[in-house]
Amino acid sequence: MPASRSDKRPCRLILASASPRRLRLLAQIGVVPDDVVPAEVDETARRGELPADLARRLAEAKARSVAGRFPGACVLGADTVVARGRRILPKAENEAEARRCLNLLSGCRHRVLGGLSIIDAKGKAHHRLVTTAVVFKRLSEEETAAYIAHGEWRNKAGAYAIQGRAAAFISKISGSYSNVVGLPLHETATLLNGLGFHPGGKE
């Protein structure tokens, strides 16, 4: 996806993600990647791997998997992990899985861990890990059933989308909202600024 940009960018910027949410979030701070290239990475957690470690590892793996194909480019990779304690909740693929996730989140506090990694033009990795605490109200069976029937949960970490109907379930959030949506914008902008990009301003 070609970007409209000036020649002042330090390098070609590639988003290593198939997520339209991340593309929209970048646009919110004035960043339009030169290309969007989905990363082919196995997202399965390793035995005993902690949620934070998984988010960090996958973000870097996604960035490096694409950076290897585009030498000299800057590649942004990200991953979002929803965790209840040490338990990692999946990206729900069916209704039974979605129901299990929502039952675990109902009436409880959980964490959303956002891994962020940028591989610069010289191949050096720059990382951030952002943690947001989210509290769900206690869901009734009717609320859970209605949410599942709507289908918004499909392929969402933890089986919910804070930017959608699930916003009605969230009684408290502490930390980055955009991190829960899919990309921590403040930290992303900080990393990009450090590499010579200027999110939110003129490039």
Q: Please tell me the predicted confidence (pLDDT) of residue 10.
A: 82
Q: Please tell me the predicted confidence (pLDDT) of residue 4.
A: 41
Q: How many CA atoms lie within 13 A of 137 on its CB side?
A: 11
Greater pLDDT, 199 or 147: 147
Greater pLDDT, 19 or 125: 125
Q: Please tell me the predicted confidence (pLDDT) of residue 9.
A: 76
Candidate list 7, 35, 42, 79, residue with the active-site label: 79
- The arithmetic mean of pLDDT across residues 105-122, rounded, is 97
Does this model's pTM top 0.75?
yes
Q: Please tell me the predicted confidence (pLDDT) of residue 199.
A: 77
Closest CA to 182 of 13, 24, 6, 4: 24
Greater pLDDT, 18 or 165: 165
Q: Please tell me the predicted confidence (pLDDT) of residue 201.
A: 60
Question: Does the pLDDT of residue 23 top 60, yes or no?
Answer: yes
Fold observed for domain 13-194 = Maf protein (3.90.950)
Q: What DSSP assignment string belongs to the chain? A: ------TTSSS-EEE----HHHHHHHHHTT---SEE-------PPPTT--HHHHHHHHHHHHHHHHHTTSTT-EEEEEEEEEEETTEEEPB--SHHHHHHHHHHHTTSEEEEEEEEEEE-TTS-EEEEEEEEEEEEPPPPHHHHHHHHHHTTTTT-BTT--TTTGGGGGEEEEES-HHHHHT--HHHHHHHHHHTT--TTS--
pLDDT tens sequence across 51-99: 999 999 999 999 999 999 999 999 999 999 999 999 999 999 999 999 9
Instruction: Answer yes or no: 79 catalytic.
Output: yes
Q: Please tell me the predicted confidence (pLDDT) of residue 19.
A: 87
pLDDT tens sequence across 123-154: 999 999 999 999 999 999 999 999 999 999 99
